[in-house]
A and B are shown apart, each in its own frame.
Chain A
Amino acid sequence: DVKVTQSSRYLVKRTGEKVFLECVQDMDHENMFWYRQDPGLGLRLIYFSYDVKMKEKGDIPEGYSVSREKKERFSLILESASTNQTSMYLCASSGDEQFFGPGTRLTVL
């Protein structure tokens, strides 16, 4: 059973904290993605990576960075969390089909 796993389902952080969201896939996919999902706005692409150590900005990269040191792992980093980054974060990987993780609901107080 193919899987994309995310390190946390729920996370609460304070403004200014550094936040790490981890994603791991077991399908040997080259492409991995980070999205945020907000009500009425759908899925918006933050960053994606098509290979180890490679990254590309998506539609809303401001305030975020990513790291891809190993093929199976793609991390999203909020250097200094702000309240407007409270959201659902979804990781995905793709071969012929895009597979999503269960999401991390991040609340920044």
Chain B
Amino acid sequence: GENVEQHPSTLSVQEGDSAVIKCTYSDSASNYFPWYKQELGKGPQLIIDIRSNVGEKKDQRIAVTLNKTAKHFSLHITETQPEDSAVYFCAASYGSGGSYIPTFGRGTSLIVHP
């Protein structure tokens, strides 16, 4: 089955700096790569996703890049703010719509210092 590795487990940055979280996956058939943000006391929430026919996707201060050859994908957050502090999870899956079963990374705790 799919195996997703996520690094680092903890990331501490100063407000305004950029943050990068990296994930690798093992199953070359995976074609959907979502990223989730989990704030304290809440369930994870989808913040951005990318499909295998796209190399990069941006949404305001966040972006995700995908390298299918190397089987890795990354989350980039620019101009970090204290409210970006949360646990971030990457995931990989095959399928789309309601049929996908994602495999999650172990999470990255991002701390943004004011």
Contacts and interface: CB of A to CB of B under 8 A. Distances in A.
Interface of A: 4, 29-31, 33, 40-45, 48, 50, 90, 92, 94-103
Contacts of A50: 98-99
B97 A95 contact: yes
Contacts of B96: 96
B100 to A, nearest CB: 7
A48 B98 contact: no
Given A42-B89, A94-B98, A95-B98, A102 B105 contact: no
Interface residues of B, number: 23
Given A42-B89, A42-B104, A96-B98, 9 more contacts: A29-B98, A30-B98, A31-B98, A41-B106, A42-B107, A50-B99, A90-B43, A98-B34, A98-B102
B114 interface: no
A54 B70 CA distance: 36
A40 B99 contact: no
The binding surface of chain A is classed by DSSP as strand
Contact of A31 (B43, B45, B99): B99
The 5 residue pairs across chains A and B that have the minimum distance between CB atoms: A100-B43, A42-B106, A43-B104, A42-B104, A31-B98
A109 B49 CA distance: 39
B89 A43 contact: yes
Contacts of B101: 33, 45, 48
